[in-house]
Structure 1
Amino acid sequence: MRVVFVSIDTVFHRDTETNQRFQSIIELLRDHGHDVHLFCAKFWDDDATTLERDDITYHAVSASPEARRSFCLRLPFDLLAASPDVVHASAQPPTALLAARWGATLARAPMLAEWYGDGGIAADRWTRRALGRGDRLVTPSELVATWIRERGADGDVVETIPNPIDLERVQSVPPGDRVDIVYARRLDEGANLESLLLALAELRDRDWSTVVVGDGPERAAYERLASDLRIDDRISFAGDLELEERIAVYRGAHVFAQTAEHCVFPTEMLWGVASGCVGIVEYHADSSAHELVEGWDRGFRTTSEAELADAILEAGDLEYRDVDDRFAEYDRSAVAEQYLEQYRTVQDQHGLL
């Protein structure tokens, strides 16, 4: 199958959550043997209009992500020439998604629109128009699905497909040192690590150890808070770690605590619970993390520091694990099959199968 992806911006321009998600989908389809193309702004140095890299063909539609007008004007004709079996377009920016819809129509190909929602869903007229243009609108979580329905999307064409992880990779990494609680996220203004630190302060008379994975502008403030709460001797700030290093930490940990205020999909927590951690989530209106633990006997949802402290104590009664097969549905192969099923469905609806 020739799958043509569309995104002005890529991970080679900006390493954002939205771009990481889109690149992971591209690589999933490539790994399953499909002919994968990405129409994007140019990110390579030579004068070539295409780039072959790791069995993916990148097509330069504009000279830079800022050249949106020229991108949108040229894209439909580029897509027509590409003869796609299916078009899969990022919804950011919505004007490019509208251009992709025009191109898919010219090429007589169905289109999936990828709405990741990092940074929210705008309420402007271009977004509202774009929400009606995909044969399927894909989101990473029910949280984002709700956001786009509230903006006017047809709920009958909205599909939720999670971010993928690699369970074979989890199993291949030896567990690290045993630790009671791990927290992992960029330490910025939305990290809300203070909720966990305050909960741990309530348990200072208990025996526990914690590792904080991640770095960012608020790290020094969190380190000062841990010191002020007199629990800094049992908390290790590990900084940024590579994925295999993080997996080792998670496989050695008993609990993964998620307290961030904004999270469209808890990818890092998913790596943690698949590595055997008990999952504890502090609920926030703009976070989908609670979706990962609902209906799971090793998951807790809390709404305050006191409840978080109680959940940590209760989690201590559960067995230690260093892998959890319950999360096989989030494995790369399973997520790829979900996308392929959507492709087949929209192709069938267009009479292409």
Structure 2
Amino acid sequence: MRVAFVSMETGSHRDTEANDRIQRLIALLAERGHDVHVCCVSFWDGESVRLERDGVTYHGVADDLDDRRSFCLRLPFTLRSIGPDVIHATAEPPEQVLAANGGATLAGAPLFLEWDGEGGVDDGRLYRLAAGRPNRIVAPSRLVRTWIRELGADGDLIDVVPTPIDTDLIRETEPTDRTDVVYARRLDEDANLESLLLGLAELRDREWEATIIGDGPERPTYERLARDLRIDDRLTFVGEADREERIAIYRSAHVFAQTARRCVFPTELLWALAAGCVGIVEYHADSSAHELVEGRDRGFRTTSEDELTDAILEAGALEYRDYEPAFESFDREAVLERYLRRYRDGRATERLV
């Protein structure tokens, strides 16, 4: 199958969760042997408008991320020249979605829209127009699906598809030294790590150790709070860690705590749950993390620090595990099949129109 992605910005321009999510899908399709093209702003040296990398063909539709007008004017003709079976666009910026819709008409291909929701969903006019153009919309969580529906999109056309994980990598990674509680996120104003620290402080008369993964502008504040609460000797701030290092910690941990105020999809929580952790999620209106633990025996949803403390105690009574097969439906191959099934459905529908 020939799939053309439309994303002005790629992971080679800027490292974000949204760019990482779509790049994973691009890589999975290429690994499976599909003919994958990406229409983007050039990020490579030289005058060539095309770049072949890792089985993917990148088309430099414009030279500058600020030049949306040129990108959108050229995009429909670039898509027609590719001749894709499916066009898959990202929602940001919305102008590229409207241009991709024109390209889909020229190419006679269905249009899919990946709406990550990172940073929220803007309700501006262009976003509302974009929400009504694609054949299908993909959201990472029910939370983001609700936001998109509020723009006027048909809810029946929105699929919730998680960000995939690699369960083989989890099984192949050796656990590190045992720890009781782990937290992982960029330590910014939405991290809300103080909820966990205050909850742990209530348990200072018990034996426990906790590991904090991640860095950011609020790290000094959280380290100071840990000292003020007199629990800093039980906390390890490890800073940034690569995927294998994170998995090793998750496989060694008993509990993963998710307390962030904003989260369109809890990627680290998913990795930790699949690595055997008991999940404790503090509910917030702008976070979808609770969606992963609802209805699961090894998951708790809390709404206060007292409830979080109680959940940590209850979680301690559950058996330690370093792998959870219940999350194999989130594996990269399983998630890819969900996309491919929708692509095939979209092509069949397009041929009937």
TM over 0.5: yes
User: What is the CA–CA distance in structure 1 between the aligned matches of 2:2 and 2:31, rounded to whole Å?
Assistant: 13
SS at match of 1:351: helix
Measured against aligned partners, the alpha-carbon deviations of 1:178-200 in whole angstroms (never above 9, x if no partner) come to 10000000111110000000000
Name the SS of the counterpart of 1:279 in structure 2. strand
> How do 1:217-232 residues align onto structure 2 when only pairs under 5 Å count?
217-232=217-232
Q: Which residue of 1 aligns with 2:154?
A: 154
C-alpha displacement of 1:276: 0.4
1:352 Cα deviation from its structure 2 partner = 7.1
Runs of 4+ in 1 over 4 A off after TM superposition: none
State how 1:5-84 maps to structure 2 within 5 Å: 5-84=5-84
CA–CA distance in 2 between the matches of 1:95 and 1:55? 28
Once residues 243 and 21 of structure 2 are traced to their aligned partners in structure 1, the CA distance between those partners, rounded to angstroms, is: 16
- Residue 31 of structure 1: how far off its partner (Å): 1.5
Corresponding pairs, count: 353
The reply on whether 1:239 has 2:244 as its aligned counterpart is no
Quote the Cα distance in structure 2 between the aligned partners of 1:333 and 1:287. Answer: 26
In 1: Cα distance, 2:352 partner to 2:185 partner: 43
* Counterpart-to-counterpart distance in 1, 2:6 and 2:60: 11
What is the alpha-carbon distance in structure 2 between the residues aligned to residue 129 and residue 303 of structure 1?
A: 36
Deviation at 1:156, TM superposition (A): 1.2
CA distance in structure 2 between the aligned counterparts of 1:20 and 1:98, rounded to whole angstroms:
23
Q: Distance in 2 between matches of 1:164 and 1:331?
A: 5
Task: Report the counterpart of residue 321 of structure 1 in structure 2.
Answer: 321
The letter of the residue matching 2:320 is Y
Partner of 2:123: 123
Output the CA distance in 2 between the equivalents of 1:29 and 1:352: 25
Q: How does 1:102-117 map to 2 (within 5 A)?
A: 102-117=102-117
Give a deviation string over 1:17-47, Cα, whole Å, max 9, x none. Answer: 1111111111111121100000000000111
Alpha-carbon separation, structure 2, partners of 1:118 and 1:160? 15
Partner of 2:212, secondary structure, is: strand
> Match for residue 190 of structure 1?
190
Q: Which amino acid aligns with 1:27?
A: A
Corresponding position of 1:265 = 265
- Which residue is equivalent to 2:205? 205
TM-score by length of 2: 0.99
- In the TM superposition, what whole-angstrom CA distance separates every residue of 1:144-174 from its partner, at most 9, and x where no partner exists? 0000001111111010100000000000000
Looking at structure 1, the residues matched to 49 and 159 of structure 2 have their Cα atoms a distance apart, in angstroms, of 34
Cα distance in 1 for residues equivalent to 2:340 and 2:22: 15
Deviations, residues 111-131 of structure 1 (Å, cap 9, x unaligned): 100100001111110000000
Residue 66 of structure 1 deviates from its aligned partner by: 1.1
1-side partners of 2:96 and 2:350: how far apart?
A: 22
Task: State TM-score, norm by structure 1.
Answer: 0.99
CA distance in 2, matches of 1:347, 1:292: 31
Give 5+ residue unaligned stretches, structure 2: none
Q: CA RMSD in A?
A: 0.9
3-state SS of the aligned residue for 2:10?
coil
Which residue is equivalent to 1:85? 85
Q: Is the partner of 2:26 in helix, strand or coil?
A: helix
Find the aligned partners of 1:111 and 1:292 in 2 and give their Cα distance: 29
Amino acid at match of 2:73: L
Percent of aligned positions that are identical: 62
Once residues 21 and 97 of structure 1 are traced to their aligned partners in structure 2, the CA distance between those partners, rounded to angstroms, is 18
Q: Matches of 2:31 and 2:168 in 1, distance apart?
A: 15
